[in-house]
Amino acid sequence: MSDEPNTTYWKSLNELAQNEEYKKFAEREFPENAPELSDGFSRRTFLRMMGASVALAGFAACRRPVQKILPYSKQPENIVPGIPNYYASAMPFQDALTGLVIENHEGRPTKVEGNEMHPASLGSTSKFNQAATLNMYDPERSREVRQNGDVASYAAFVSFCNQHFSDTGRNIAFISEANSSPTFNDLKDRALSQFPNAQWVTYEPFGEENALEGTNIAFGQRLRTVNHFDEASVIVALDDDFLNPAAHKNSVQNTKEFTQGRDLETGDDISRLYAVESTFTVTGSNADNRFRLKSSEIEQFVRALGEELSVSGISAGGSNKFTNHEWISELAKDLQNNRSQSILTLGNEHRPELHAAVAAINGALNNAGSTVTYHELPYAENQSNREVFSNIVDGLNDETIDTVVIVGGNPVFNAPADLDMANALNAAEHVIHLSDYYDETSALAQWHVNRAHFMEIWSDGYSYTGAASIIQPQIEPLHAGKSAIEFLNTIITGEKSDGYSLVQKTWQNRISGGFQNGWEQILHDGIASEETYPEVTPSLSGGLGAAMQNGADQNESGEGIELVIRPDSKLFDGRYANNGWLQELPDPMTKITWDNVALMSPKTAEDLGVEAAGLGVAEVDLLTIRANGTQVEIPAWVQPGHADGSITVTVGYGRKGIGNVADAVGVDTYPLRTSQNMLFTEDINVNNTGELYEIACTQDHNSMEGRSLLRQATLQEYRENPDFSQYEEAYNAELPGEEWANEHDADAPLSIFDAIAGKDYPDYQPQWGMTIDLNSCIGCGTCTIACQAENNIPVIGKDEVKNGREMHWIRTDRYFEGDKDNPNAMHQPVPCMHCELAPCEQVCPVAATTHSEDGMNQMTYNRCIGTRYCANNCPYKVRRFNFFNYTDEFLTDGEDPEVIQMAMNPNVTVRFRGVMEKCTYCVQRVNSAKIKTQIETDGSMKPPDGMVKTACQQACPSDAIYFGDLTDPESEVSKTKRNNRNYLLLEELNTRPRTSYMAKVTNPNPQLA
């Protein structure tokens, strides 16, 4: 049969004339000059491939017909356009996996949620998990293989490997990120056996290397320390921000357990958290007693504590400044009273000897084996990676290493400055770099291979505690990136690799019984087993005493200012620098966006002549910090609660050539960090340049000004007066209007529905309400990112944040209270209150914001003309205005905007400029649940309790947010509303908010308060 149809249908005369130009034109979706993806991945291609894969795969959303991935739950029989599928997977962060369930819209992952079956998630996530979707759809992720900077094909790289690595005698250095994947570690073993002269180092700029070395000193074995915060009565965090995902890779589980230990509803006593730290961290802000201490003094503190507790091997070297300190005696008393129920935990970057000492103290307190357990890592190296790393750098400089294979990571940017990684890599003949971005290291590499995002690959791995999972792809690699295992396998075999078969091969002998069933079960569940790494009961080796001798004489820390370098709470080591959501997330403690700063206490600031920023003062002094033979200019920030004589900086900023988001934001502080001074440098030189620098901070005022917005009491006060959080108690005055309400025989608080319907609530509709438990909330900011991901909230950039126009629908307010130098910090997430008597609704001239029958304050974007009157009249200031066309700028900026558009939630309208927006209680989730319930129950509009979870609630690692139907007296949220800690924000305004708060209860040691 001829290709030409018998009858010619033509759309235009040009087509009829078989014009070549027209043919091209007709094939293009968009006319000439319209931007289209350059790498052959246009929307049409995408749809074509989608269509084909759906047709071929039948039920799976994956576009590889033979590699079946299975839905986790809620699986429709077929793909129904508009109905998302949910697939289990896991996100690796260093060598710890967090189990996830990923929402997939027609083959397009848009949102991650925690996997309730996975121990490191239990249904929750960290902000890094939530931000992962934007990382994947980052248009500036590296898209191609490059040879000496020029675009090359992957085939060329494969043939290079084939030829280059056929010589197995090469001196190869593998520098890898921490990775718990058994497939990866098998390949690592294969590589080391195949290339006898190869060295392997796991390098992470911030990791648990020192903790592993510490256990090596204490127990003669590199072991993972797992703290069980839910089982502890007393927790002592020594410079350890274990609730912060940037400081601890198991933060979600830590947070869950910590919150469980603080649960007031069980009626038991809650745990007590002591924090001894230099920087005011998220963990420190949740501490019941907090001791500000320079990081360089932590060692003396630990020694004094060890001596007070008579732990053998730890001495204060006679006595030091903490020997008779009240903190030491009180802490020792409390720890002694809670033997086997306490935890001492030390910040990762402290030196190994100190980790050994803390392990010894935990052992002496009988904590080891109960609240603190030690586990054998199946993939742990028996070497100090930091030592190996510097050996490799030496080898490079001596030119004894000819090939460097860098598997992820960016050592040129983040290796200790004294190692001069750039110089060392220049000396190597061949540098091969696998990475997400064409970054600082890639620029020095002969071969750059673009890495696939974890949502695009097959892989596997363990959670922090050792629960194994398989990572299954959600989408074909957008830019044909390769996973670490594929990359490594290509180097070993010299052939193209296929992650799916590699992972399957690993699991062939791990799955007992039928492989296919077992495999599918693991994919479905997102977890293979909840088994932990093998626990060992270690005994102290004799090495501790000797190790602790070393350094005992350095007991007096310098009087000068110390510099503490920490990972950034948003960018971590810099790997998330091109993520706009994270850049724009206010730091939990400083509320600064789009910058890193030098944090210092008010007293240190005074010494340096630094003025604090505040209301109307956005400009801060620029400092010159001289340390370790270099100097860095960085803006100063006065952080109440910071240790005196100490300055903290975070890393990851000051990037060049990474992307539009990351570049030129903040200051690169890595040059200040050397192998000898990974955590702190003493006696640095700081100068105030007198120049000013403008900071975009979202909270200019830190005091509640005597307004009882965030209510808290100590455990004792709560026991004595369980109603402490009620208005009458908080203000020692009667609630305005209550008298009237009583006289008129109305129950306070009144409800709008009393007046209208003559009954409490329309009973055919659910009545939505939310409660935020401030006792659980740790202030991490995960809710903000989750909300941003769910509700298509645009990133607006530093200038607009500086103008005070941040768009977050849920913000976390952080207040300081008490002593200016050593205050308490408190966190309060504030979404829309969905007031029953909403002040915003009354003032809108065009009725664009109105109430729904199910009690939500709704915003009709199409009707809004943008007078901003509603935002003015909102006492909670939760309404956000599109001053510019932010969404348009966010989604059409850059060379290839269509990629980032794929990250958007199709169920949420994007907002045009000139309209108001705000928290909707995730109305899209509510309504889809209502529709589903209506279909399934033949008409009821009330979804069962727990069926609707708002994005913030679902993501929250501390389960601080409750949401549900108030007409159901047994719903979780109704129970919280009856709780005596429940109170309404600004109750006296009679706005009758549907969102309420549960007051915070602390458990401080009265002797130290």
Residues in contact with other proteins by the rule CB under 8 A: 615-618, 699-707, 709, 800, 803-806, 811, 813-815, 828, 830, 839, 842-847, 863-869, 871-873, 875-877, 880-885, 912-916, 986, 989
Q: What totals of helices (H) and strands (E) does the chain contain, helices first?
A: 34, 40
**979/267 Cα distance (integer angstroms):** 13
Comparing CA positions, the residue from 385, 160, 378, 130 lying closest to residue 251 is: 130
Kindly provide the residue ranges of all beta strands, DSSP E only, lying in 311-458, ordered along the sequence.
342-346, 372-376, 403-407, 430-435, 447-450
Residue 639 CB, nearest approach to other proteins (Å): 17
* Separation in Å, CA 248 to CA 206, 315, 424, 682: 9, 28, 30, 24
- Output 677 or 995, the one with its CB closest to other proteins: 995
CB of 843 to other proteins, least distance (A): 5
Establish whether the linkage from the previous residue to 749 is cis, with ω within 30° of 0. Answer: yes
- Looking at beta carbons only, is 774 or 830 nearer to other proteins? 830
Pairing of strands 234-238, 272-277: parallel
**Closer Cβ to other proteins, 700 or 853, answer by number:** 700
From CA 244, how far away is CA 246, in angstroms rounded? 5
Q: How far apart are CA 769 and CA 826, in angstroms?
A: 23
Give which of 510, 919, 508, 443 is closest to 655, Cα–Cα.
443
What whole-number distance in Å separates Cα of residue 479 and Cα of residue 764?
50
- C-alpha atoms less than 13 angstroms from C-alpha of 171 in its C-beta half-sphere: 11
Residues 6+ apart with CB under 8 A from 398: none
For helices 484-493 and 182-194, the axis angle rounded to 10 degrees is 20
Which C-beta is closer to other proteins: that of 383 or that of 873?
873
Nearest-approach distance from CB 618 to other proteins, in angstroms: 8
Q: How far is the CB of 960 from other proteins (least distance, A)?
A: 17
Cα separation, 468 vs 830, whole angstroms: 37
Q: What minimum distance in Å lies between the beta carbon of 621 and other proteins? A: 18
Beta bridge partners of 650: 566
Backbone φ and ψ for 851, nearest 5 degrees, come out as -100, 140
38/48 Cα distance (integer angstroms): 17
| Residue 442 or 698 with smaller CB distance to other proteins | 698
By beta-carbon proximity to other proteins, the closer residue of 127 and 811 is 811
Cβ 793 to other proteins, closest distance in Å? 14
In the complex, the smallest distance separating the C-beta of residue 952 from other proteins, rounded to whole angstroms, is: 17
**Residue (462 or 809) nearer to other proteins, CB:** 809
Minimum distance from residue 416 beta carbon to other proteins (Å): 39
Q: Which is nearer to other proteins, 546 or 865 (CB)?
A: 865
**How many Å apart are CA 56 and CA 63, to the nearest integer?**
8
> Least distance in Å: CB of 796 to other proteins?
9
| CB of 887 vs other proteins, minimal distance in Å | 12
Name the minimum Å distance from CB 110 to other proteins: 27
* Nearest CB to other proteins, comparing residues 343 and 825: 825
The strand ranges marked E within 436-487 are 447-450, 459-462, 468-471
Residues ≥6 apart with Cβ < 8 Å to 748: 735, 737, 738, 741, 742
Query: Which residue number, 333 or 707, has a Cβ lying nearer to other proteins?
Result: 707
Closest distance of CB 866 from other proteins, Å: 2
Residue 66's beta-bridge partner residues?
A: none
Residue (706 or 1006) nearer to other proteins, CB: 706
SS3 content of the chain, % helix, strand, coil (to 5): 30, 20, 50
Least Å from the CB of residue 705 to other proteins: 5
Q: Which is nearer to other proteins, 702 or 775 (CB)?
A: 702
How far is Cα 980 from Cα 975, in angstroms, rounded to an integer?
10
CB nearer other proteins, residue 59 or residue 912: 912
Provide the CA 526 distance to its chain's centre, in angstroms: 20
